[in-house]
Amino acid sequence: MFNGGGNMAGMMKKVQKMQNEMKKMQDELRKKTVEVSSGGGAVKVVMDGEKQVQSLIIAPAAVDPEDIEMLQDLLSAAFNEATKKVDEMMAQEMGKLTSGLGLPPGLL
């Protein structure tokens, strides 16, 4: 009755293999970092694949007691860009892993 039983077993093996590869990839990505800057290099942020800030560098010229809002804006921009780059890095690697499955984008 179920002629496709062998296909299902094969598909389950593929899914299991993909899950193992995905875990390995995620572990590797956690160790990678992205570096971004804002304000022409006034603020630099290095963030890892777990979105943890590894370093923050603020140029002395960016610290103006009369304009704290500018520094706050530069920090926000740098953190937001770093988070975006980590997300893009993850999506790109996931795309490589899932491209052969024929799944719609964003499903995993």
Q: What is the pTM of this model?
A: 0.72
pLDDT of residue 94: 79
Q: Which two tokens stand for residue 15?
A: 């899914």
pLDDT of residue 106: 56
Sign of the CA dihedral with 93 first, then 32, 58, and 66 last: positive
Structural domain that includes position 58:
30-96
pLDDT above 70 as % of the chain: 85
**CA 103, 108, 106, 83: dihedral to nearest 10 degrees?**
-150
Q: Could you report the per-residue pLDDT of 14-57, keeping only the tens digit for each?
A: 888 888 888 888 888 888 999 999 999 999 999 999 999 999 99
Residue 85 is assigned to a structural domain of this protein: yes
For helices 68-98 and 5-31, angle between their N-to-C axes, nearest 10 degrees: 150
Three-state DSSP state, 43 = strand
Residue 74 is assigned to a structural domain of this protein: yes
Domain holding 92: CATH number?
3.30.1310.10
